[in-house]
Structure 1
Amino acid sequence: MQTYGVTLFDSTHEAMKAEKAAKEAQLKVRIIPTPEKIHASCGFSLKYELSNEADLLALFQQMEIQTEGFYHATRDGLKTEYERRKD
């Protein structure tokens, strides 16, 4: 079983800005297509390690990067479940 985080954005510009800022902060992230089970305005999301979530949240707040939500993903074989992070 694999767990990871997914952040959604309302625009491609915000997704690209977030990826650049996170990589400059040496956080392990990558742009992925927004999963079909999650609906967002933008077709791109950011995949990240859950251990980096607090740092990512602080960075986005500091850089004023707008998100549409953070999700925790659990992948077991071919099945992936998403749960919206509660603030």
Structure 2
Amino acid sequence: MGEWLLIAFDSTQQALRAEMLLEYADIEIDLCPTPKGVTAGCALSIQFPAEDYAEVQRIIETEQVEIRGIYFKKESEYVRMEQ
């Protein structure tokens, strides 16, 4: 398995909306608990393969999904990507 990225949200509604949009776009995702090291207002996060980053970013912007940020794992901690 390659590198996966993580989207964190401030609301469950936005997390579930993003899940629906990404599944519709046939992007492999995993709905998971938000890791302790990521500050977010929602207990749900979405993981997706790093190679789908551009398409995920496009969908989030086009559909105006409100996110806390997109993170990558560096060693044992999550680091927010610049947007």
State TM-score, norm by structure 2: 0.91
Q: In the comparison of the two structures, how many residue pairs are matched?
A: 83
> How much does 1:81 deviate?
2.3
State TM-score, norm by structure 1: 0.87
Task: State the 4+ residue runs in structure 1 displaced beyond 2 angstroms.
Answer: none
Q: Which residue of 1 aligns with 2:65?
A: 65
* Distance in 2 separating the partners of 1:55 and 1:2: 17
Q: CA RMSD in A?
A: 1.6
* Distance in 2 separating the partners of 1:83 and 1:69: 10
Q: Which residue of 1 aligns with 2:35?
A: 35
Q: Deviations over 1:30-80 (max 9, x none)?
A: 2100001111000001101000011001001111111000001246xxxx3
Larger Rg computed on CA atoms: 1
* Percentage identity across paired residues of the two chains: 25
3-state SS in 2 of match to 1:55: helix
Any gaps of 5 or more consecutive residues in structure 1?
none
